[in-house]
Amino acid sequence: MLDALRLTCDERGVETLTDFRVTALARSQADFEAVAADGRRIRARCALVCTGGLAAPKLGASGEGYKLLEGLGHAILPRFPAIAALRTPPEPVRGLKGIRAEGEITLLSGGGALRTEAGEMLFADAGISGIAAMQLARQVNETLRAGRSCAVRLNLMPEALSLPERAKALPKRRMEDFLNGIVPKRLGQALVKAAGIDMARPAGALTRAELERLHNLLTGWTIPVTGTQGFDQAQVTAGGASLKDFDARAMRSLRCPGLFAAGEVLDVDGDCGGFNLQWAWSSALIAAEGIEAYLTEVAP
C-alpha cells in the first residue's frame, strides 16, 4: 500500500517532506502557511488536513489536526474511542483470559437491546475483546457518556441444544467437563460455577432447575460493561471535525476558502471491515478532485 502511494507520488513529481509535524496553519489573503515543530515553513494556495484521529498514538495520532481546523473556524465534536475492547468488572471474567468463543453478543441498556453482533469473542483481563465485542464499543461509549449504564449478554450456544438430553446421554460426566465441545473447557467451568453447580457432580444427578439455570447462562450470560479501552488501544476515533462545515462534494471547507479535509479527522467512523480505510481513501480522492477544481476554477 505504502509503496503504491509513495511511488506514484514520486513518478508524478510530488515533493515529499518528512518529519514535518505541522504545529500551526494560518491563512492570509493569498495563501496558507504551515509551520513545522522545528520551525520550517511552507506556503501553498490550498491546504488539506488529513491528520487522522486520536486512536493508536504510537502510530502517529496526535490530535493536532483538530487544533489546526479549530483555529480556522471549524467546530470539533466530542471524540471517543470506537472499535475497542470492552471493559467489564474483573470478577465475571476472572480466569478466562485468552479464551476465544464463537457466539452472539448483545449490548443492553435501559431494558432494551441496542445492537447484536455475531462472531468471535476473546476474553481478557477485566474485559472482552474480539471483533464482535469491539464493534459495540462506539455504542457503549455513547451510552455511558449519556449517563446510562449498560451490559452485554452473551449467547454462547446459538445452535439449539437440549442440556437435559445431554445430561441423559452423559449421566456419569462430571460437571467440570459437561460443557466440553460446546464452549472451551475453562469457560464451561466458569458457567457451571456461575450457575452455582458443584463441579464434581455427575450430570445425571442434576435437577431440571439446575440444568435450566445453566442453559440460561449459556444463552444469556449477562455481564456489566464499565467502558472500553482508551485511544491507546482503540482502532478508530468517533467524533471529530463537524461535517456541517464542509461541502461533501469536494471535501471543501465552508469556513475557510482553500481549506480541505479528509479521513478520520472528520466526524466519520465505520464498523470493522475496511470501512474506515475506505472512507479515508474515498474522501481523499474527492478532496484531491476538489483541490484541482478549486485551483483551476475558483482561485486560478
Ligand X SMILES: Cc1cc2nc3c(=O)[nH]c(=O)nc-3n(C[C@H](O)[C@H](O)[C@H](O)COP(=O)(O)OP(=O)(O)OC[C@H]3O[C@@H](n4cnc5c(N)ncnc54)[C@H](O)[C@@H]3O)c2cc1C
Residue 62 binds ligand X (CB under 6 A):
yes
Q: How far is the CB of 55 from ligand X (least distance, A)?
A: 5
By CB atoms closer than 10 A (0-12, 13-18, 19+), residue 30 is exposed
We find the least distance from the C-beta atom of residue 51 to ligand X, in angstroms, to be 4
Rounded CA-CA distance 239/234 in Å is 14
Q: Where are the alpha helices (DSSP H) in the chain?
A: 2-11, 64-71, 90-93, 131-134, 137-145, 163-169, 185-194, 208-220, 275-293
C-alpha cell, 49:
488536513
Output 50 or 243, the one with its CB closest to ligand X.
Answer: 50
Of 78, 95, 275, 285, the residue at the interface with ligand X (CB under 6 A) is 275
Residues 227-266 that bind ligand X (CB under 6 A): 235-236, 263-264
130 scored as a contact of ligand X (CB under 6 A)? no
Choose one: 47-55, 186-194, 240-248, 286-294; the region binding ligand X (CB under 6 A): 47-55
Which position has the grid cell 441444544?
161
Cell (9 digits) for 79: 471524540
User: Whose Cβ is closer to ligand X: residue 57's or residue 73's?
Assistant: 57
Choose which of 13, 39, 60, 196 interacts with ligand X (CB under 6 A): 60
Does residue 112 bind ligand X (CB under 6 A)? no
Does residue 106 belong to the site contacting ligand X (CB under 6 A)?
A: no
Complex with ligand X: residue 51 or 189, whichever CB lies closer: 51
82 vs 150, which CB is nearer to ligand X? 82
Q: How far apart are CA 246 and CA 72, in angstroms?
A: 13
DSSP assignment letter at 130: S
Instruction: Compare residues 184 and 263 and give the one whose CB is closer to ligand X.
Output: 263
How far is residue 46 CA from its own chain's centroid?
32
- 275 in the Ramachandran plot: left (φ > 0), alpha (ψ -120 to 50) or beta? alpha
Beta bridge partners of 122: 100, 129
The residue within the footprint of ligand X, chosen from 280, 286, 287, 291 (CB under 6 A), is 280
135 touches ligand X by CB under 6 A: no
Note the residues at the interface with ligand X (CB under 6 A): 21-22, 50-52, 55-56, 59-62, 64-65, 235-236, 263-264, 274-277, 280
